[in-house]
A and B are shown apart, each in its own frame.
Chain A
Amino acid sequence: MSRTVTIDPVTRIEGHARITLELGDAGEVRDARFHLTQFRGFEKFCEGRPYREMPALTARTCGICPVSHILASNKACDHLLSVTIPPTAEKLRRVMNLAQLTQSHALSFFHLSSPDLLLGWDADPANRNVFGVMRQDPSLARDGIRLRQIGQTIIEMLGGKKIHPTWVVPGGVSEPLDTVKRDAILALLPEGLEIAKRTYAFYKTLVPRFVDEARHFGTRPTLFLSLVSPSGHLEHYDGVLRLKDANGRIVEDGVPAIDYARLIGEAAEDWSYMKFPYYKPLGYPGGIYRVGPLARLNNADTCGTPYADVALAEFRMLQERGPVASSFHYHYARLVEIIYAIEMMERLLKEPDILDARVRARARSNRDEGIGVAEAPRGTLMHHYRIDDNGLITWVNLIIATGHNNLAMNQSIRQVADAYVDGNRLQEGMLNRVEAVIRCYDPCLSCASHAFGEMPLEVELRDASGRVLDRLRRP
C-alpha cells in the first residue's frame, strides 16, 4: 500500500519540474522522482536549418546560460569548418564564458539559494525568496545584484547584448576588442573580486551551520565528469574530458571532447522529459556521475589563479580525503569558481594580443559532422550536429549540463527524503529541503527541456483507497 506526495512546482530553480515521493505503509520513502515537465524539441526542429543559424537558435535553449550554448554550438561549427580559430578569438570567447559563469553562479547563490541559507529552510515561504533577502540583508542582496550585473555587463560590452548576444561566430568572433572596452571591463573586475571574496568569506562562516544538510544532501558515491585543461587545470572552454570516481581515482583522462560518445550514453524513462545520461562502461543506471562546479573542482589539479587556489585548498578540506562528496557543497564550489572567473578574466584581458584584429577564421563547411563541448556553469555541455552537402542540419544531439546530473539529482532527493521526510506528519520545511537539494545542483531546466511545467503545490497523503490522510498547501 503506497502513497504519493507531489511537490509541484519545484520553485527557485531555473525551469519547470515536480517531485514525487512514494511512501510506504510506515510513512517511509520508497521512491523519489524528479520530473522535468517541459519538452521543446530542438533536436528535431533544427533539421533543415543552415548550420550557421545554430548558435543563435540554440542560445534560445536557455536565457540563463545562452553563452554556453553559443560557445558549444560555435565550437561544433568550428569543427564543421575544420578550422583552428585565431588565438585572440579563443581568449575573447573565454572571457565571455567566464563573465557568464560569474553572473549565473551569482544568480544561483544570491537570487535562488540564499533565501534558504540566510532565512532558513523552515522560514515563512511567503518571505523565503530574494525579495525577503533584500529586506533582511540589503547589503548582501546588493552584492548579489551587483556581481550578476558585472557579469552581464561584460557579456554586453563584448557581445552587444546581455542575453542571446550574436558576437561569437563560427570561426571566432565577429569583431575584435578595442582598448576602450577592454579598459572598461578591466575597471569592473576589482569590485567584482572584492564582492566575490567577501561573499566567500561570509559563506565560510555559514558552512558549519549546515553540517547536517551537508551529511544528507547527496553524498552517495558517484563519478565526477568535467573538462580539464591538458595539464589538468580547471577548464571551462576547451580541454579534455576527465572522469574521477568517488575515491578520487582517475577513471578516464585526456579523452578528446569529440570522443564523448565513447564515454556517455543516454537513456529515457517514461516519467520525465529529461533524459538520463550515464557512463557507458558502468551501464545504466549504474554509470551515475555528476558534473558542474563540484565535479570541476574535484577533477582539477589546481585552478591556476592565486585566490581561487587558496579557496580550492580550503574546499578540499571540507572532507578528510577523496573528492568532496556532498552535493550541498556545490554552493561552496560555485563561490570558488566566481573568484577564479574574475581572476582569470583579468589575466586574459591583460594578454598582449587581446586587442589583435585577427579574430575570425573564414571557411565553408569541410566535414559533415561537428561536435562542440564546453563547460556551462552547471556542467559539461555537448552539441553534436550532422549536415548535408548544402550545410543544412540533418541531425542534432544535445547533452545538457543539467541532464548529466539527472541520475544524481534523483538519487539525492531520495537521500534527503529518507533523512527528513516523515510521511506520517508532513511539514513544509521537510519538503523545502527536498527542493533545496535540487537547488544545490542549480539545475537549468530550460536547458534540459530542450527537453521544462508549473502548477500549484498541493501535497496530499492518501492511503491505498485514495482517502486523504494529510494535506499541505502553499502558501
Chain B
Amino acid sequence: MSGTNAPRITVATAWLDGCSGCHMSFLDIDERLLELVQKVDIVYSPLVDAKVLPEAVDVGILEGSVSSEDDLEKAREFRKHCRILVSLGDCAVNGNVPAMRNPFKLADVMDRSYRENVTVHPVIPVVGVPALLPTVRPVHGCVPVDVFVPGCPPGADAIWQVLCDLIDGRVPEPTKVTRFGA
C-alpha cells in the first residue's frame, strides 16, 4: 500500500454454502485486523450491515460452495462487481463437504430432514427460502475465479499473506502457504 493519498482498497466478502470457518480464520488474523482497516474498506460482508454489494469493488472473497439459487446469484453478482474474485477455502475451491450431498437425490436429502426426522408437521420448506440446486458446485463451476486459496479452513497467516499480496498489487501464490485440507 503506497502513500496515504492512494485510493483505499475496497473488499467485499460473502459466505455461500459453507460453515463460516474461513471467515473465522480471517478473524484469526487478530490484531492485524487493526492494521488491515487502516488500508482497506470492508464494504460488504456478513460482518458489516451493508445489504447491497457496491457497483465496483476491488477484491471479492467468496467462502463456501454454490448450493442454492441465492448462492448462484451471489456468485454471479460478485463476479460482475469485483475486479479480483477470490475462492476462499476448500468448499469454494472444490465443493468439499457441501458437495457430499451430490451422490444423493436432492429429494431424498430433503425428505430425511423434513419428513423422516420430524415428530409432527412434516413439510418441505418452499416459502421465502431459496430453491436448492440439484448439484453443489465450487465457485469456479459457476463463474470465473482469479485466485484459489485452499484449506479447511486456510490458516490465518495464509489469508493474511494473500490479502497483503492483493493490497500491494502482487500476484498471490496461495499454494505456497496453504493446501487442501490444511
Chain A residues engaging chain B, CB cutoff 8 angstroms: 8-9, 11-16, 18, 20, 33, 35-41, 43-47, 57, 60-64, 66, 107, 111-112, 125-126, 128-131, 134-135, 138, 141-142, 145-146, 148-149, 152, 162-164, 265-273, 275, 280, 284, 397, 432, 446, 451-458, 473-475
The answer for the CA separation of A332 and B29 in the assembled complex, in Å, is 27
| Interface residue from A142, A146, A267 paired with B120 (Cβ < 8 Å) | A267
**Contact of A39 with B132 in the complex, beta carbons under 8 Å:** yes
B window 1-56: CB within 8 A of A: 14-15, 17-25, 27-28, 30-31, 33-34, 37, 42, 46-53
**Contact of A129 with B48 in the complex, beta carbons under 8 Å:** yes
The answer for the CA separation of A112 and B45 in the assembled complex, in Å, is 12
Given A45-B101, A454-B46, A20:B153 Cβ within 8 A: no
A9 proximity list for chain B (CB < 8 A): 46, 51
B110 proximity list for chain A (CB < 8 A): 39, 41
**Contact of A43 with B73 in the complex, beta carbons under 8 Å:** no
A131 proximity list for chain B (CB < 8 A): 37, 42, 47-48
Confirm or deny: B97 has a beta carbon within 8 angstroms of a beta carbon on chain A: yes
Q: How far is the CB of A231 from chain B (nearest CB, A)?
A: 32
Measured CB to CB, the nearest residue on chain B to A7 is B51
B window 54-73: CB within 8 A of A: 67-68, 70-71, 73
The answer for the CA separation of A148 and B85 in the assembled complex, in Å, is 28
**Contact of B23 with A63 in the complex, beta carbons under 8 Å:** yes
Q: How far is the CB of A463 from chain B (nearest CB, A)?
A: 20
A397 proximity list for chain B (CB < 8 A): 117
**Contact of A446 with B20 in the complex, beta carbons under 8 Å:** yes
**Contact of A455 with B73 in the complex, beta carbons under 8 Å:** yes
A125 proximity list for chain B (CB < 8 A): 49-50
Confirm or deny: B171 has a beta carbon within 8 angstroms of a beta carbon on chain A: no
**Contact of B67 with A40 in the complex, beta carbons under 8 Å:** yes
A269 proximity list for chain B (CB < 8 A): 121, 123, 125
B152 proximity list for chain A (CB < 8 A): 60, 164
Measured CB to CB, the nearest residue on chain A to B182 is A161
A14 proximity list for chain B (CB < 8 A): 20, 46
Measured CB to CB, the nearest residue on chain A to B53 is A456
**Contact of B128 with A44 in the complex, beta carbons under 8 Å:** no
**Contact of A138 with B30 in the complex, beta carbons under 8 Å:** no
Given A129-B49, A270-B123, A446-B18, A275:B113 Cβ within 8 A: yes
B window 104-129: CB within 8 A of A: 104, 108-110, 112-115, 117-129
| Interface residue from B33, B42, B71, B124 paired with A453 (Cβ < 8 Å) | B71
The answer for the CA separation of A129 and B48 in the assembled complex, in Å, is 5
Residue from A20, A111, A273 with most neighbouring chain B CB atoms (10 Å):
A273
Chain A interface secondary structure, helix, strand, loop or mixed? Answer: loop
A162 proximity list for chain B (CB < 8 A): 24-25, 28, 155-156
**Contact of B46 with A12 in the complex, beta carbons under 8 Å:** yes
Confirm or deny: B96 has a beta carbon within 8 angstroms of a beta carbon on chain A: yes
Measured CB to CB, the nearest residue on chain A to B130 is A453
**Contact of B70 with A453 in the complex, beta carbons under 8 Å:** yes
**Contact of A8 with B127 in the complex, beta carbons under 8 Å:** no
With A12-B48, A452-B15 already in contact, 20 other A-B pairs whose C-beta atoms are closer than 8 Å: A9-B46, A11-B48, A12-B46, A36-B129, A41-B109, A44-B104, A57-B100, A60-B19, A62-B19, A64-B24, A107-B27, A126-B50, A129-B47, A145-B31, A162-B28, A267-B118, A269-B121, A270-B126, A284-B120, A475-B50
Q: How far is the CB of A143 from chain B (nearest CB, A)?
A: 11
**Contact of B101 with A268 in the complex, beta carbons under 8 Å:** no
Given A41-B109, A63-B20, A149:B30 Cβ within 8 A: yes
**Contact of A39 with B52 in the complex, beta carbons under 8 Å:** no
B28 proximity list for chain A (CB < 8 A): 149, 152, 162-163
A46 proximity list for chain B (CB < 8 A): 100
**Contact of B109 with A44 in the complex, beta carbons under 8 Å:** yes
Confirm or deny: B76 has a beta carbon within 8 angstroms of a beta carbon on chain A: no
The answer for the CA separation of A384 and B169 in the assembled complex, in Å, is 49
Residue from A57, A135, A146, A164 with most neighbouring chain B CB atoms (10 Å):
A164
Q: Provide a sorted-by-A list of 23 A–B residue pairs whose CB atoms are within 8 angstroms.
A: A9-B46, A11-B48, A16-B70, A37-B70, A40-B101, A45-B109, A63-B20, A64-B20, A66-B21, A129-B42, A131-B47, A163-B153, A265-B118, A265-B120, A268-B115, A270-B123, A272-B128, A273-B129, A275-B114, A446-B15, A454-B46, A457-B51, A473-B52
The answer for the CA separation of A111 and B30 in the assembled complex, in Å, is 12
The answer for the CA separation of A52 and B118 in the assembled complex, in Å, is 26
Confirm or deny: B138 has a beta carbon within 8 angstroms of a beta carbon on chain A: no
Q: How far is the CB of B91 from chain A (nearest CB, A)?
A: 8
Given A63-B25, A454-B15, A271:B127 Cβ within 8 A: yes
